[in-house]
Amino acid sequence: MLELRQKTMANLQRSLYESKRRFDVGMITRADLAQVLAQVAQGQADITQAQSNLTVSEAQFYQVTGTTPDNLVPINQLPPIPANLDEILAQTKNHPALMRAKYEKQAAEKQYALTKRELWPTVMLTSRAGKQDE
């Protein structure tokens, strides 16, 4: 996407150069030139947005895989899908996202139990014993 935006920007720069030449010889108005300048500014904003999106995507890739996406190679063939449910469960047993969800569920259950306990009434019993000799 970034490359596409950069190619578009190169085309806009050429268009701006041509528009300035036309303006200098009186072929287009100042408003026409301003419109081309606005398109160039929008093109630059699009490049900045694409760079930002790329940075976010790289950070998410690192967060998921633990590696940077420097030398990625295309995958020609995806791994086969497991044939039955048991194979799927075996492969996903230690998947980080599922383990995280499991621990989050356990934490939520414990938090629920603590919160529920706070709603119970408080009961206090006091007793006293004594003996008098006469």
Q: Which residues contact 1 (CB under 8 A, 6 or more apart)?
A: 50, 53, 54
CB 48 within 8 A of CB 62: no
129 φ/ψ sector (left φ>0, alpha ψ -120 to 50, else beta): beta
What is the CA 40 to chain-centroid distance, rounded?
Answer: 29
Segment 69-102, tens digit of pLDDT: 887 788 788 878 888 898 888 888 888 888 899 9
Segment 18-77, tens digit of pLDDT: 999 999 999 999 999 999 999 999 999 999 999 999 899 989 988 888 888 887 788 788
Q: Read off the pLDDT of each residue in 101-118 and give the average, rounded to a whole number.
A: 92
122 by DSSP, 3-state: which?
A: coil
What's the pTM? 0.49
For residue 94, the model assigns a pLDDT of 81
125 by DSSP, 3-state: which?
A: coil
Residue 134 has pLDDT above 80, yes or no: no
CA distances from 52 to 8, 20, 46, 49, 67 (A): 17, 31, 10, 5, 19
Rounded Cα gap, residues 26 and 6, in angstroms: 30
CB 51 within 8 A of CB 5: no
For residue 31, the model assigns a pLDDT of 93
